[in-house]
Amino acid sequence: MVTLIEIPLLVSMTVAILSLYLGIRINQALKAFHTWGIPNVVTGGLVVASVCGLLYTLTNIHLSFDLSARDILLLYFFTSIGLNIRLSDVSRGGKSLCILFCLTSGLMVIQNLVSSSVVSAFSLPPSLSILLGSLALTGGHGTAIAWAPMIDAHYGIENAHEIGIAVATLGLIAGSLVGGPLAHRLISRFRLKATGASLPVVGLPEALGSDGANDINHFVLLRTIAFIHIAILSGYGMDAVLQYMGIKMPLFVSALVMAMVIANGVPRLFPRIAMPVRTRALALISDLSLELFLALSLIGMQLWQLADVGLAVLVLFLLHVVIAVLYILLIVFPLMGRDYDSAVIASGFAGIALGSTATAFTNMSTTTAMHGSSPKAFILLSLVAALFLDIANSSLVALLMR
């Protein structure tokens, strides 16, 4: 008999924060982890999740963390990204944006084709290939949970939810562990250097110099938070309008779009208002919300669910990892320009391909903290992930279900 212990939000947040510091200490002790860019939050989060999994296996005690704070943290993060996006950056990166969107869509198609082939080779129900493709890998936990009931109703796969969660969990782990080393390898091999602006979009440098290091105070932070809240509230309004029109999109997309509108509209209408664009305060809030989001996601993973993953699913997942790595090295990195920004994009693409959007940005944040900022990479990935990825993936899954 399983004993369920529900951990309240305050304790859950505390455990998440402590897991981050645990990861820092482990990465400091194991220099290879730091050198290869394994995010601190991933190291610590996986340790806590493993301890919880071991506790469940040995004693049947299930520690259920309250993860409700993740939604607002995700809103904070994407709104911060939106406030940093300038329309001039989007126009200059138009070609790169189209290429990255096509590359992402291409990988999703490949993932579903590979899933269909492996499912057929193992003589499994063909409908199972949907759960083992881009739905859970590129889509992550949220997409898998959202589509599981429909797949169950359409195909009669009673454990669709569990399979989707298991694949998404494996992807989250793999995406977190693959992205940093990929970027480190590319940066070292081609001796790439950061050429972007000195102030980061997200991912504060590990050692701040005296120039601007003290420009964060409570007034600056409060002003920045005020802009974030205004953008989020505007996003709620946009989301209500879209729902009235019958269009359903994640709330963080509306918040990001409204943040872009505010960041580009306010300076033209009210030039005297100081905007938090490309400031350390905004980067600090982005880092904080992103790392807390991923820390909560990692400690909340129920790793014992992976025990029921069959051989076919495991073989297929490992094949997906190999394909994603080769795709990034041989296609994504060359087509995105073979420069430093491309290497940062490669680390984020690993997160998108195998884990989640949050994993992608954590990989890039870790890489830029070590090697230098890359506004272009964050802008391109945020636009693709927030505005196109969910739509393209959902459309592809809907097409496969017909």
User: Per residue in 130-180, pLDDT tens?
Assistant: 889 999 999 888 788 878 888 888 888 878 888 888 888 999 999 999 999
Alpha carbon of residue 349 to chain centroid: 10
User: Across-strand partners of 320?
Assistant: none
Both tokens assigned to 320: 């997906």
Reported as a single tens digit per residue, the pLDDT across 368-386 is: 888 988 888 988 998 888 7
Per-residue model confidence (pLDDT) at position 206: 57
Per-residue model confidence (pLDDT) at position 207: 54
pLDDT grade, residue 21 (50/70/90)? very high
Residues 6+ apart with CB under 8 A from 159: none
Range 346-365 average pLDDT: 92
Reported as a single tens digit per residue, the pLDDT across 303-324 is: 988 877 778 888 899 999 999 9
Reported as a single tens digit per residue, the pLDDT across 325-344 is: 999 999 999 999 999 999 99
Per-residue model confidence (pLDDT) at position 201: 60
* pTM of structure: 0.87
Reported as a single tens digit per residue, the pLDDT across 231-267 is: 999 999 999 998 899 877 778 888 988 999 999 999 9
The answer on pLDDT for 29 being more than 90 is yes
Per-residue model confidence (pLDDT) at position 198: 55
Q: Return d(Cα 398, Cα 392) in angstroms, integer.
A: 10
**% pLDDT > 70, the chain:** 93
The answer on pLDDT for 214 being more than 50 is no
pLDDT grade, residue 210 (50/70/90)? very low
pLDDT grade, residue 65 (50/70/90)? very high
What is the three-state SS of the chain? Answer: CCEEEEECHHHHHHHHHHHHHHHHHHHHHCHHHHHCCCCHHHHHHHHHHHHHHHHHHHHCEEEEECCCCHHHHHHHHHHHHHHHCCHHHHHHCHHHHHHHHHHHHHHHHHHHHHHHHHHHHCCCCCCHHHHCCHHHHCCHHHHHHHHHHHHHHHHCCCCHHHHHHHHHHHHHHHHHHHHHHHHHHHHHHCCCCCCCCCCCCCCCCCCCCCCCCCCCCHHHHHHHHHHHHHHHHHHHHHHHHHHHCCCCCCHHHHHHHHHHHHHHHHHHHCCCCCCCCCCHHHHHHHHHHHHHHHHHHHHCCCHHHHHHCCHHHHHHHHHHHHHHHHHHHHHHHHHCCCCHHHHHHHHHHHHHHHCCHHHHHHHHHHHHHHHCCCHHHHHHHHHHHHHHHHHHHHHHHHHHHC
Reported as a single tens digit per residue, the pLDDT across 216-227 is: 788 889 999 999
230 backbone dihedrals φ, ψ, rounded to 5°: -60, -40
Reported as a single tens digit per residue, the pLDDT across 108-130 is: 999 999 999 998 988 888 888 88
Per-residue model confidence (pLDDT) at position 128: 85
